[in-house]
Amino acid sequence: MTTNGGISPQDAKYALETRDMHVYYGSFRAVKHINLNVERQKITALIGPSGCGKSTVLRSFNRMNELVPSARVEGKVFFHGKNLYDSNVDPVEVRRRIGMVFQKPNPFPKSIYDNIAFGPRINGWQGTKADMDNLVEQSLRASVLWDEVKDKLKESGLSLSGGQQQRLCIARALAIEPEVILMDEPCSALDPISTLKIEELMFELRRQYTIVIVTHNMQQASRASDNTAFFLMDNDRAGTLVEYGPTEQLFTNPQDKRTEDYISGRFG
Amino acid sequence: MSSVSQTGNTSSGMPTDEAMHRNIAQRRQRGRIWQGVLFASTTIGMLVLVILLATIINESFGLIAVQSTVDPATIADRPLEELSKEELIVILEDNLKRRVYQRLEREQPLAERDQAALLEIVRVEVVQEEVVGSWPLNETLFNRAAIEAEVAEEFPRAEIQFRSWINPDFLTNPMSSVPALAGVRTALLGTLWMIGITILFAFPIGVGAAIYLEEYATDTWYNRIIQTNIANLAGVPSIIYGMLGLAIFVRAFEPLTSGTLFGLTDPTTANGRTILSAGLTMGLLILPVIIIAAQESIRAVPNSLRQASYGLGATKWQTIWNHVLPGAMPGILTGTILSVSRAIGETAPLIVVGASTFIVTDPDGPFSKFTALPIQIYNWTARPQDQFRDIAAAAIIVLLIVLLTLNAIAVLLRDYIRKRRSI
C-alpha cells in the first residue's frame, strides 16, 4: 500500500516509539513524559490502576484521542520513523494502519459479512465479490471465528455472544490489514472461556501483527504478553510510565518499589 | 399482617416493627391513590377522543329531506334514472335557459358526457332537487318518527333519504356552493401537494442542519445561540410563520413562487399565493421540530459505533453516512411524522399566506392557486346552513384518514429500516 507524504512500512525493531509524549484534555494533563518503545510482532501489555492513563496512551497511538474535541497530544509518536502527529499525516491513514479493538464489543448493526467488508469497502476496496468473500473468510479464520459463523454470515453481528462479537471485532480490524492492533481491555466484558480464546488468538496474531493491549487483569498481562509497561498516576494526577520491560522480568523482579507493590496486590 | 421478623430494633431512627407495618401500609395506600389518578387521566383522555370521533361521525351520516322544485313527472313519463342519454339531452335542451345550456356545453359538450353525469345535471338544474333538511345520525337512529312527522308537515313534497355525507362523490367532486354537491377533491389535492413540498423542503434541510450541529459544529457561543434559537422557534405560534411566509414567499419571492420566473403566466395566479408558498411556509414551520428530533436521535447513536468506524480508517463523512444516519433514521422519521401531522392540520398560516376559500379547479402543480382541507373545514363550519356542518364533519374524516395514512406509511418505513438494521 503506497501513500504520498504518508507512512511507509520498513523493517525496524520497534513498531511504535513515543518521545516525551504528553496528552492533555483541555487544561488537564492526563499523561506526561511517556517514552515507550513497542517492539514489532510482540505483545505489549499496558497495566496500572484505573485513571492512570493507559487507555489514553493506547489511543494516542492511532490518534483516536482526537475524537475528544479538547484532547491534545504533545511530543512525538514515531511509527516506522515517521511522527504520527506531523502536520502532513492524515489520521485516517494512521487508523487504517493501526487497527483498534475496543473494551465493549461494538459490532455494527449489520450482517457478520458486512461487518468485515465495511473496512475494506470504505478504504477503496478494488477486488471482486469473490475476493471479498475470500477476505471475509480469511479474516474470520484468523480470528478463529470462521467455524462458528460460516453458515450464518448474513445474520446480524449482534446475534453473536459477547466473546464471538469481540472476535468479530478483531476479524473486522484484521480485514484492513493493519500492522499494529491496539486492544483496549478487550476481555473486560467477557467470561473466562471467551477471555482464554481471545488470548490464544493474540498469540496466533503475534506472528504477523504487533499488538498493544491495555488490561486491568494482571494475570492476563503476565501470561499473554511479551513486554509490560506499568503506569501510575502521579501526585499531579497525570499518568506516568513507571516501569517498562520484558513481562517476565517485570513480574518476577520489578525494579521499582511501586511496581512491586502493585503486582503483589498491595494496592490498586 | 404478621411481621416477618420479631427481633428488637436497636437503632435509633428506624421504626419499630409495628410502626414499620403501618408505614408500609401508608406507602402502599399512597401508591394506589396515584395509580387511580393516572388511570383517571388516561380515561379522561380516551373519553374526550371518543366524544370527538362520535361527534364527527354523528354529523357525517344521517337522514336528509330532498325536495324538488319541479315535479319530475312533468318532464318525463318514466323515472329519470331510466332515461337514455339522448332523452336526457333533449330534456336539458327544452328546459334549460339558453345561457345555462351554453355554459354547460362550453365546459364539456353534453354529447360527450355519460348518462350519470347528465342525470345529475337534470336533477340539479331542471328538477332542482334541493336538500331542505338534514339530521345527524343519533336522531336518525332513535327519533326517525319525529323527523318524518316534521318533514311531512313542513315539506309535504319532500322525500326522506339516508345520506352518508362522506361518499365517493364527496371525494371526487370539486367545491360547490350547494352543500349536497360540494366535494373535497380540490382541497385534498391541495393538501397533498402542499405536504409533498413541505416534506421535500423541510426534511433534507432539517436533517442536514441537525447533522451539522451534532457532528461538525464545535461548542462555541454562536453555535449555542443557534441551538437556543432553534429550540425557541419550535414554540413560535403558527400564525407568525404565516406572516413570515406572506412577507418572504408570497411577496419578496413572488417571481419564484408565482412561477413567472419559469415562464409561467397563468392569469389566475398572477401573484405568489401558490401551493409552493404554502408548502415552503409549512416547511419553515416544522423545520425546528425536525431539526430537534433529528439532533436527539443522532445523539442517541452510540459513540462506540462511531469509534469502531473511525478505528477502521473511515472518514468523518463515511462514519456519518454509514453508521450515524442509518442509526438515527428511525428517530428522525418519528420526528418527521409528528411534525408533518402538525403541518397537515395547520390552518392559520394558510389563511395568512392566502389559500383560496372557494376554488373549483384542481391544483396542477406547485404554481397553482390552492385550498387545503383545514381551510375548507374552517370555511364550511363558518357557514350558517346545517348541511355545511355535515360536509365539514365529512371533510374532517377525510383529513383524519389522510393523516393516518401518511403516518402509517412513515411508521412502516421506520419499522422497515429498523428491521433491516438488525438482520
Provide, as residue numbers in chain A, all residues whose Cβ is less than 8 Å from the Cβ of B302.
106
Half-sphere exposure of B186 (CA within 13 A, CB side): 22
Integer Cα distance of B217 and B201 in angstroms: 22
Q: Give the gap in angstroms from C-alpha B134 to the nearest C-alpha of chain A.
A: 59
Residues B330 and B405 in one domain: yes
| Residues near A144 by beta carbon (within 8 Å), at least 6 away in sequence | A167, A197, A200, A201, A204
Predicted local confidence at residue A2, as pLDDT: 39
pLDDT higher than 60, residue B267: no
pLDDT, tens digit, 9 for 90 and up, residues B200-249: 999 999 999 999 999 998 888 898 999 999 999 988 999 999 999 999 98
Compute φ and ψ for A246, nearest 5 degrees: -55, 140
Q: Given the C-alpha cell 339522448, which residue does it identify?
A: B86
Q: For chain B, how many helices (H) and strands (E)?
A: 18, 3
Least confident of A71-85, B54-68, B86-100: B86-100
Nearest Cβ partner for B313 among A109, A122, A155: A122
Q: Which residue has the higher pLDDT, B68 or A166?
A: A166
Q: How distant is the alpha carbon of residue A76 from its chain centre?
A: 18
pLDDT band at residue B119 under the 50/70/90 scheme: confident
Integer Cα distance of B423 and B415 in angstroms: 12
Residues B317 and B357 in one domain: yes
CA-nearest residue to B216 within chain A is A69
Q: Other CB atoms closer than 10 Å to residue B218's CB: what's the count?
A: 6
Domain that holds residue B156: 62-165
Residues B100 and B224 in one domain: no
Mean per-residue pLDDT of chain A: 88
User: How far is the CA of A112 from the CAs of A84, A169, B6, in angstroms?
Assistant: 32, 10, 59
Half-sphere exposure of B52 (CA within 13 A, CB side): 9
Nearest Cβ partner for A106 among B308, B314, B422: B308
Residues B148 and B219 in one domain: no
Q: To the nearest whole percent, how much of chain B has pLDDT over 70?
A: 95
pLDDT, tens digit, 9 for 90 and up, residues B166-207: 888 888 887 777 777 788 888 899 999 999 999 999 999 999
Helix ranges, A81-128 (H): 91-97, 112-122
**Ramachandran bin of B372, using left for φ above 0, alpha for ψ from -120 to 50, beta for the remaining angles:** beta
Residue type at position B247: A
Q: Which residue has the higher pLDDT, A88 or B97?
A: A88
Residues B211 and B161 in one domain: no
pLDDT band at residue A267 under the 50/70/90 scheme: low
Is residue B9 included in any domain, yes or no?
no
Q: Give the ipTM of the model, two decimals please.
A: 0.89
Grid cell locating B421: 438494521
Predicted local confidence at residue A198, as pLDDT: 87
| Size of the A and B interface in Cβ pairs below 8 Å | 70
Predicted local confidence at residue B196, as pLDDT: 93
pLDDT band at residue B122 under the 50/70/90 scheme: confident
Virtual torsion, Cα B100, B106, B109, B115, nearest 10 deg: -40
Predicted local confidence at residue A4, as pLDDT: 42
- Domains identified in chain A and CATH numbers: 14-263 (3.40.50.300)
Is residue B222 included in any domain, yes or no?
yes
Average the pLDDT over A214-242 and give the result: 89
Task: Verify whether the Cβ–Cβ distance A154 to B310 is below 8 Å.
Answer: no
CA-based R_g, chain B, Å: 31
Is the sign of the CA dihedral A140, A144, A150, A156 positive or negative?
negative
pLDDT higher than 60, residue A226: yes
Integer Cα distance of A197 and A96 in angstroms: 25
pLDDT higher than 60, residue B5: no
The DSSP code sequence of B317-367 is HHHIIIIIHHHHHHHHHHHHHHHHHHHHH--HHHHHHT--SS--SPP-STT
Grid cell locating B328: 438515527
**Ramachandran bin of A124, using left for φ above 0, alpha for ψ from -120 to 50, beta for the remaining angles:** left
pLDDT band at residue B366 under the 50/70/90 scheme: confident
Grid cell locating A203: 498469540
Grid cell locating A189: 466484558
User: How far is the CA of A95 from the CAs of A26, A84, A132, A177, B279, in angstroms?
Assistant: 23, 10, 21, 11, 45
Q: Which residue has the higher pLDDT, A267 or B226?
A: B226
Task: Verify whether the Cβ–Cβ distance B312 to A96 is below 8 Å.
Answer: yes
CA-nearest residue to B420 within chain A is A110
Predicted local confidence at residue B10, as pLDDT: 57
pLDDT higher than 90, residue B108: no
pLDDT band at residue B7 under the 50/70/90 scheme: low
Average the pLDDT over B401-413 and give the result: 88
pLDDT, tens digit, 9 for 90 and up, residues B310-343: 999 999 999 999 999 999 998 999 899 889 988 9
Grid cell locating B322: 454509514
Predicted local confidence at residue B269, as pLDDT: 53
Q: Which residue has the higher pLDDT, A4 or B166?
A: B166
Provide, as residue numbers in chain A, all residues whose Cβ is less than 8 Å from the Cβ of B310.
64, 67, 95
pLDDT higher than 80, residue B361: no
Last residue within a domain, chosen from B165, B197, B216: B165
- Residue A74, strand partner residues: A22
Predicted local confidence at residue B205, as pLDDT: 96
Residues B146 and B200 in one domain: no
Is residue B383 included in any domain, yes or no?
yes
Last residue within a domain, chosen from B113, B132, B165: B165
Closest CA to B207 of B328, B81, B78: B328
Residues B100 and B215 in one domain: no
pLDDT higher than 80, residue A33: yes
Is residue B392 included in any domain, yes or no?
yes
Task: Verify whether the Cβ–Cβ distance B312 to A95 is below 8 Å.
Answer: yes
Mean per-residue pLDDT of chain B: 85
For residues B311 and A99, the answer to whether their CB atoms sit within 8 Å is yes
Is the sign of the CA dihedral A128, A134, A140, A143 positive or negative?
negative
Last residue within a domain, chosen from B165, B199, B221: B165
Most A-contacting residue of B312, B318, B423 (CB-CB within 10 A), to test interface: B312
Predicted local confidence at residue A116, as pLDDT: 94
Q: Give the gap in angstroms from C-alpha A34 to the nearest C-alpha of chain B.
A: 23
- Residue B228, strand partner residues: none
Residues B256 and B395 in one domain: yes
Is residue B382 included in any domain, yes or no?
yes
Grid cell locating A209: 501483527
**Ramachandran bin of A170, using left for φ above 0, alpha for ψ from -120 to 50, beta for the remaining angles:** alpha
Task: Verify whether the Cβ–Cβ distance A122 to B322 is below 8 Å.
Answer: yes
pLDDT band at residue A1 under the 50/70/90 scheme: very low
Residues from A contacting B (CB-CB < 8 Å) are 62, 64, 67, 69, 92-93, 95-96, 99-100, 102, 104, 106-111, 118-119, 122-123, 154-156, 158, 169, 172-173, 176
Predicted local confidence at residue A3, as pLDDT: 41
pLDDT band at residue A11 under the 50/70/90 scheme: low
pLDDT higher than 70, residue A122: yes
Predicted local confidence at residue A7, as pLDDT: 53
Q: Which residue has the higher pLDDT, A39 or B73?
A: A39
pLDDT band at residue A59 under the 50/70/90 scheme: very high
Integer Cα distance of B84 and B177 in angstroms: 28
Is residue B13 included in any domain, yes or no?
no
pLDDT higher than 60, residue B95: yes
pLDDT higher than 90, residue B159: no
Residues B273 and B352 in one domain: yes
Compute φ and ψ for A85, nearest 5 degrees: -100, 10
E strand residue ranges, A166-226: 180-184, 210-214
CA-based R_g, chain A, Å: 18
Provide, as residue numbers in chain A, all residues whose Cβ is less than 8 Å from the Cβ of B327.
109
Provide, as residue numbers in chain B, all residues whose Cβ is less than 8 Å from the Cβ of A158.
422
Grid cell locating B369: 392557486
Nearest Cβ partner for B304 among A93, A102, A173: A102
Compute φ and ψ for A249, nearest 5 degrees: -65, -40
Average the pLDDT over B271-293 and give the result: 91
Task: Verify whether the Cβ–Cβ distance A176 to B312 is below 8 Å.
Answer: yes
Least confident of A42-51, B33-42, B267-276, B362-371: B267-276
User: How far is the CA of B109 from the CAs of B22, B112, B123, in angstroms?
Assistant: 89, 6, 18
Number of domains in chain B: 2
Residue B251 DSSP symbol: I
Most B-contacting residue of A106, A139, A169, A185 (CB-CB within 10 A), to test interface: A106
Average the pLDDT over A254-264 and give the result: 87
Task: Verify whether the Cβ–Cβ distance A67 to B313 is below 8 Å.
Answer: no
Domain harbouring B364, CATH code:
1.10.3720.10
Q: Give the gap in angstroms from C-alpha A151 to the nearest C-alpha of chain B.
A: 15
Residues B381 and B245 in one domain: yes
Integer Cα distance of B311 and A108 in angstroms: 12
Residues B206 and B242 in one domain: yes
For residues A135 and A128, the answer to whether their CB atoms sit within 8 Å is no
Residues B271 and B135 in one domain: no
Integer Cα distance of A100 and A183 in angstroms: 6
Predicted local confidence at residue B261, as pLDDT: 74
Predicted local confidence at residue B1, as pLDDT: 46
Integer Cα distance of B308 and A108 in angstroms: 8
- Residue A73, strand partner residues: A23
Average the pLDDT over A236-243 and give the result: 89
CA-nearest residue to A116 within chain B is B312
Predicted local confidence at residue A50, as pLDDT: 85
Average the pLDDT over B122-145 and give the result: 81
For residues A119 and A176, the answer to whether their CB atoms sit within 8 Å is yes
- Residue A19, strand partner residues: A76
